[in-house]
Every structure is written in structure tokens, then in C-alpha cells.
Structure 1
Amino acid sequence: MTLQTQLVLRVLLEDPEGQHYGLEIAKSAGLASGSLYPILARLEQAGWVESHWEVIDQKAAGRPRRRYYCLTRDGAVQARQALAETFERLAPRGRLFGNGSPGVVTP
């Protein structure tokens, strides 16, 4: 699993039952749309994410409709597990992280 995919999953897991649109995910993950949409497409093909188009009057809203993405129930479980496995591989026996939390480095 690529770092970019992990970033997308972390954003989606911040609100696992929420509806997230592409620009929101891209900004939160720090990714360009050219990187984001192929990741979302792969996650959708894998069954981790579902998507749907917003139903709005684009003229009245003054903007194009958005495509919303949300984690499936199984996708949320698998995403948490995949991120935990990645963390375990990168921080064996807590050597990289002082208290077992991502981002806390022990000198």
C-alpha cells in the first residue's frame, strides 16, 4: 500500500461514516487530484469505498455537482487493519515511536 493511499485512508477514517468529496480529501491528504482520483477508483474497485454524485441544481448552487465518497463497513475495517499492519512493520517493538503513537519519535 502506497503512502498516498494510506493518507487517503487516514482522511476517510477521521469520519468513517461521513460523505467526503474529492477536493476535501485532496486538501486534507495533501495530494493533487491527479494522484487522488486513481486511488479512490482502486479503493472503490476493491469494495473499500462507495461513491455517488450529488443531486443538485448546478445553476442554483453556482458550482458543479460533487462526487461523494464514503468507506464501506468492510472498507473501514480493512483500512484500519491495513494501517495498523503498516505501522507495526515500520515500528517493530516500538523502536521508532516512543509511546506507540504514530508521529512521536524517540531520540
Structure 2
Amino acid sequence: MSLTILRILEVLYANPDREHYGLEIARTANVSNGALYPALERLTRAGYLTSALEDIDEAAEGRRKRRYYQLTEDGRALAATELRDAPRLPGHLALN
């Protein structure tokens, strides 16, 4: 499992009942957007994440719609296993 995916899983698993948007995940996980979005897409296609576009009026809000991600039950199980077994790496969040 790549460091990028481990960092993403760690961010999402720290608060699994909340939806997280991409920029928030990137900043917290210290992952570039170029690495983040392909990893989120792979996790979503594999059934480990759900994703949904927020329902806002972009003109009224003054920003683009955000896509929110949340771990599925399978994603939670994967995160628990992978994070438990992952070595402590430099820059890795300390959630255990």
C-alpha cells in the first residue's frame, strides 16, 4: 500500500463518520493534489469510499462545489488493518 493511500486512510479513519473534502484531506495528509485525486478515485472505485458533490449554489457561495469523501464499512475495515500494520514513517500521522 502506498504512503499516499495510507495517509489518506489515516485522515479519513480519524473521523470516519464525517465527510471530508479533497483540499482538507490533501492538507491534513500532506499529499499533493496530483497524488490525492487519483488515489481517491482508486479507493472509490474499489468500494472503500463514497463520494458526493455538495448541493450548493456556486454563485451565491462564491466558490465551486466540493466533492466529499467518506469511508464505507469495507473502507473502515481496510483502514483499521492497514494502519495497524503500517510502519511508523516520517511525516506519518500518529493516530494509534
Is TM (by shorter chain) over 0.5? yes
State the partner residue of 2:91: none
CA–CA separation in structure 1 for the residues paired with 2:16 and 2:25: 13
State the partner residue of 2:23: 23
- Is 1:72 aligned to 2:72, yes or no? yes
- CA RMSD in angstroms, aligned pairs only: 1.6
TM-score by length of 2: 0.87
State the partner residue of 1:51: 51
State the partner residue of 2:38: 38
CA–CA separation in structure 2 for the residues paired with 1:78 and 1:61: 36
Aligned amino acid, residue 13 of structure 1: Y
* 1:79 Cα deviation after fit: 1.1
The size of the alignment, in residue pairs, is 90
Q: Structure 1 segments of 4 or more deviating over 6 A?
A: none
CA–CA separation in structure 1 for the residues paired with 2:27 and 2:86: 23
Aligned amino acid, residue 14 of structure 2: E
* 1:86 Cα deviation after fit: 2.5
TM-score by length of 1: 0.79
SS at match of 1:11: helix
Aligned amino acid, residue 21 of structure 2: Y
CA–CA separation in structure 1 for the residues paired with 2:18 and 2:73: 12
Aligned amino acid, residue 73 of structure 1: E
CA–CA separation in structure 2 for the residues paired with 1:39 and 1:79: 14
Share of identical aligned residues, percent?
44
Gapped runs of 5+ residues in structure 2? 89-93
Larger RCO (CA within 8 A; separation ≥ 6): 2
Larger radius of gyration: 1
